[in-house]
């Protein structure tokens, strides 16, 4: 499912589209990735840094989840920042969760290999894994687009789209959590 921004496109950063892809697993885990229409993926952007230090006291990489109930997980709203991305041209993006829920993990590999975010956004460059409450997921669905609706939306913008075959052939790396 693709996230339809709550605010008009371009108003979050003032210079582009803030599109996210939320891959829902049958166990209700959501993998957050950048959608093909996100401004960061359109153009010749080179990512130099992915920083999970959101505030002086909140670092998403320090999220420690324990047990079946996922105790210790950081709670997110749909607008909670996951990370900040800096590009070689000086552009900075704040990437947000898009859905409310418990943060299970962030992709720590982005800290050491930030270009995974743009090179392999639907697989090794995923942002985070989030588990929403059932009622939160139901409430979020009206703001999401199906893949077909999203393809139609970005076609109107004049952008290309990763095909369904390409997006389903990628695999999300398994974590130890």
Q: Residue 137: what pLDDT?
A: 77
For residues 110 and 141, give the distance between their C-alpha atoms in angstroms, rounded to a whole number.
Answer: 28
| pLDDT of 81 over the 90 cut | yes
For residues 29 and 132, give the distance between their C-alpha atoms in angstroms, rounded to a whole number.
Answer: 7
Paired residues of 24 in beta bridges? 30
**134 phi and psi angles, rounded to 5 deg:** -55, -45
In which band, very low, low, confident or very high, does the pLDDT at 149 lie, cut at 50, 70 and 90? confident
Q: Residue 131: what pLDDT?
A: 92
Q: Is the whole-model pTM more than 0.75?
A: yes
Per residue in 10-57, pLDDT tens? 333 444 678 888 888 888 889 999 988 888 887 778 899 999 999 899
Tokens of 53: 């230090």
Residues 68-72 have a mean pLDDT of 79
For residues 126 and 117, give the distance between their C-alpha atoms in angstroms, rounded to a whole number.
Answer: 7
Per residue in 90-125, pLDDT tens? 888 999 988 899 999 999 999 999 999 989 988 999
């Amino acid at each position: 499912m693709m996230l339809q921004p709550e605010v008009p496109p371009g108003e979050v950063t003032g210079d582009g589209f803030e599109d996210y892809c939320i891959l829902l697993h049958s166990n209700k885990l959501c993998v957050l990735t950048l959608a093909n229409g996100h401004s960061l993926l359109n153009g010749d952007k080179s990512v130099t840094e992915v920083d999970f230090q959101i505030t002086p006291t909140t670092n998403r990489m320090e999220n420690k989840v324990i047990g079946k109930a996922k105790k210790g997980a950081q709670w997110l709203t749909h607008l909670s920042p996951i990370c900040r991305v800096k590009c070689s041209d000086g552009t900075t993006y704040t990437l947000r969760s898009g859905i409310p829920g418990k943060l299970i993990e962030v992709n720590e590999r982005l800290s050491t290999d930030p270009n995974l975010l743009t090179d392999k956004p639907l697989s090794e460059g995923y942002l985070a894994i989030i588990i929403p409450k059932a009622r939160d997921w139901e409430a979020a669905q009206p703001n999401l687009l199906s893949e077909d609706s999203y393809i139609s939306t970005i076609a109107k913008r004049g952008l290309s789209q990763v095909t369904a075959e390409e997006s389903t052939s990628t695999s999300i790396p398994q974590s130890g959590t």
